[in-house]
Amino acid sequence: MTAAVIDLVAKAAAEAWLDEGSVQGFLPFVDLTLSFNHGISFSLFPARDPSSLTLLLGIQGTLTCLIAVWAVAAGSGLERLGLASMAGGAAGNLIDRFVDGAVTDYLDLHTGGMRWFTFNLADAWISLGVVLLLVDGFRARRRHSDAGGLTS
């Protein structure tokens, strides 16, 4: 759960050093902008009242636990790393939502004058995990194909 700890420390730093809504340059394609996500990805289905927050925390907690269990049972190292990355990111967002009622976002992705979305390290861990699972799946498919086990 190192990913969750790193994420939570970064979120605490963002909350301490940034003012909500202000934009500070960071990298050519990433600004620092403090915001709070009350919903799931891209602020969909915001949970602002206690009952919807409880429901969202229950769903998020269940999925986080399932991914963690899957990571422990994973067969390959790359699959395990991908799932562990996803579980760590999901745990960071779950803890943040449990403590604050919202997920702290602060990395604002942009290119060519267009702002894409604001995210955090937990979201990056989750995305990295998905990429690692895809790579592992393609590698497994190639091994299976090379062994002559693929049929059309």
Question: Which of 7, 31, 96, 123 does the annotation list as catalytic?
Answer: 123
Asked if 23 contacts 8 with a C-beta cutoff of 8 angstroms, the reply is: no
* Residue 105 known to be catalytic: yes
Question: Which of 7, 31, 96, 105 does the annotation list as catalytic?
Answer: 105
Asked if 119 contacts 107 with a C-beta cutoff of 8 angstroms, the reply is: yes
C-alpha to C-alpha distance for 150 and 116, rounded to whole angstroms: 40
Angle subtended at Cα 20 by Cα 55 and Cα 102, rounded to the nearest 5 degrees: 10
Asked if 93 contacts 123 with a C-beta cutoff of 8 angstroms, the reply is: yes
Of 17, 145, 140, 136, the residue nearest 71 (C-alpha): 136
Kindly state the tokens that stand for 17.
């050093």
Kindly state the tokens that stand for 70.
């899957």
Residues with a known catalytic role: 105, 123
